[in-house]
Structure 1
């Protein structure tokens, strides 16, 4: 049998394909070796990562994945690395020993539109501004005395909810408590730009961004009306009047400096 010469091998398509596959395999192995010590992760697909494994409802899919891969689980949701913690001990360790590393909030399209680029305490990025807002909120808004003084508002809201349920029950209409208790429909909606930054333009076509802008405009109009009413009432003491007084005292100017 005649041996193939080196020149013949170099032009053989099958040989070149094998060399390419072998090189790719070695590169992937080396690249994997350079990765930090990451938690276990289920196999993922190109581009979408592990999105297809969430299913409905997502919390049950996460439970099943955690049972298979452990209490610390790394998922790739599009371009977003996401750590899933399903152990009480692990969660306690994160909160106690690594709270700063995990304290920041994700930047999403919905939060940017509805919370003025995440300026509030609930979704703002961790830093000096957030610490000052938290301090102001704890002292001025959420002290025990303040919370107790707003008990009548909570009573009114619960009473209104009970009245809705009672009316629907009398009429024999179905009651959807999820819709009554949940106000986060737009926050939980799918946004292309949050998962795939290069597809932000698709959120305009799907109506997600226009819906956010319309809702933001409605909220601005509502807040303006509430502020106008409080200025007319004068002495009424609630969250809005307290915040307006803090603004009058120049506290918010100090926060932005």
Structure 2
């Protein structure tokens, strides 16, 4: 009887009490916001904050909210205060002016975690270790000289891809473009990093591409622990996300262990034969080169994880989205194709020496990455100190998201922002290398992508050859307007409907 009375009283008075408490909290929050001058943003709900407003495609949802609340917006993702930046001026403040205050990474357990627990070097909370490792990667592994040294790998693998497409052209078989580009980037990355292409061989005990795809799916899944650090692990354990993620990481760890063991047993006297694993093992032996960082085998595995997972998918997506836009815009396709064929002449394939003369292709790539940056949001940062952003107070331990997708479609920056117009970059100084904050597919500042040069070398060479060697037609019954540009959400933004095109050999030349 007593319990019945208790439940009755709770049913009558608990909802009003909760409502009163919520109003009180909002009142306190409003007073605090006015006192501290926090950025504006949509009012959060108890516990979940603004998670309900993210939607299936967070970069699009946040862009719509920023149109209402401004280019510096405060939201709460569960228990995590998050500042969303969506203008070039605000991005410059975060990525350049206050780069040192914003260059830490949150310890994400789901999306964005590229390495595993105790081996997590890419998102180290303090910047000294990361700074030394980034210097190592840029100066030793991904320098211009190092990128050029792997030129023969890119040209050989692109040639192999063209030959496989030629077989489809002969048989009249349509091609899934993303599958072709993904296979290419996996092959190039494995040869550059590990010395050989392992996918589909007995060495990796299965298809490496399948493991990579599975890992990318897991990394792009919702993790409650990222937004509710204290109790989200219960949800993740119930859904099995962490166990699946760890299984993927362990599969890759076994692969890396085999690679490292094989490299330790082979002494390469010719420096030209050295791959990234060889360079890392040399650095491990010669610790004097690393100053504050003492490299060990776990660090090597983590670096290899970042190279494989972070690099393979993004490069393939840039090529896939570019071909989709060209398929929808035959005029741009023809213009790019004519430039390439005119410049390369009767060569069997385009080589890297030809790329500097392909001006229109570079415009096409800029425009494609404006509309379709591989990640709609840059990998999140976390503030390490207090600073002001456009007069707003930004506290330590605040997550920072830069919406590069929104910046690329801002009508105040771009005329007809939804249209694919490569010519808009003619006579424009804007590039994608982190110097111009209107176009940030690779980020900028201390956390800018160190693999940009390597990735774009693959993109330019592959697309130049794809357009040089074949004419491309839509499957029978399709028109340009039928090419779907619907986005799918994951670790990166991909085409939800795969792009299928039919390669046709040009009548004036023979394609090998």
Q: What is the SS of the residue equivalent to 2:55? A: coil
Q: With CA pairs under 8 Å and 6+ residues apart, which has the higher RCO, 1 or 2?
A: 2
Distance 1:24 1:209, change over 3 A: closer
Whole-angstrom CA distance in 1 between matches of 2:283 and 2:17: 70
- 3-state SS, counterpart of residue 101 of structure 1: helix
Give the count of matched residue pairs: 241
The answer to whether structure 1 residue 249 and structure 2 residue 286 are counterparts is yes
CA contact (8 A) 1:230 1:241 kept: yes
SS in 2 for 1:185: helix
Q: Give 1:228 shift.
A: 2.2
- 1:41 paired with 2:73, answer no
- Indicate if the aligned counterparts of 2:225 and 2:232 stay in contact, CA closer than 8 A: yes
| 2:264 paired with 1:231 | yes
> What RMSD, in angstroms, separates the aligned Cα atoms of the two structures?
3.4
How far 1:113 moved relative to its partner? 7.7
Partner of 2:90: 90
Q: Give 1:231 deviation, angstroms.
A: 2.6
Assess, with a 3 A threshold, how the Cα gap between structure 1 residues 153 and 23 changes in structure 2: closer, same or farther. closer
CA offset at residue 195 of structure 1? 1.5
Please state how far the C-alpha of 1:117 moved relative to its aligned partner.
3.6
Change beyond 3 A, Cα 1:21–1:60: closer
User: CA 1:242–1:179 in structure 2 vs 1: closer, same or farther (change >3 Å)?
Assistant: same
The structural deviation recorded for 1:229 is 2.2
Deviation (angstroms), 1:34 = 2.6
With over 3 angstroms needed to count, the CA separation of the structure-2 counterparts of 1:71 and 1:191, relative to structure 1, is same
In 2, the alpha carbon distance for the partners of 1:205 and 1:21 equals 31
Give the aligned partner of residue 120 of structure 1. 121
- CA gap of 1:245–1:92, structure 2 versus 1, over 3 A, is same
SS in 2 for 1:124: coil
After superposition, the C-alpha distances for 1:193-232 in whole angstroms (9 at most, x for unaligned) are: 1112213022122121111111121111101111122233
Residue aligning to 1:29: 27
**Aligned pairs for 1:1-257 within 5 A:** 28-35=26-33, 36-110=36-110, 114-117=115-118, 119-121=120-122, 123-155=123-155, 158=158, 172=173, 175=176, 177=178, 181=182, 184-197=216-229, 198-235=231-268, 236-250=273-287, 255-256=293-294
Q: Once superposed, which parts of structure 1, at least 4 consecutive aligned residues long, lie more than 6 Å away?
A: 17-24, 163-169
Quick check: 234-243 or 148-157, which moved more? 148-157
> TM (normalized to structure 1)?
0.77
CA distance in 2, matches of 1:196, 1:19: 24
When Rg is computed on C-alpha atoms for both structures, the one with the higher figure is 1
Shift of 1:75: 1.4
Quote the Cα distance in structure 2 between the aligned partners of 1:28 and 1:82: 17
Task: Label 1:23 to 1:209 Cα distance change in 2 as closer, same or farther (>3 A).
Answer: closer
Contact 2:219/2:245 (8 A) holds in 1? no
Which ranges of structure 1 fall in alignment gaps of 5 or more residues?
1-16
TM-score by length of 2: 0.41
* 8 A Cα contact 1:113 1:212, kept in partner: no
Q: Distance in 2 between matches of 1:21 and 1:187?
A: 37
Tell me the distance in 2 between the aligned counterparts of 1:46 and 1:19. 14
Stretches of structure 2 lacking an aligned partner (at least 5 in a row): 1-14, 183-211, 296-512
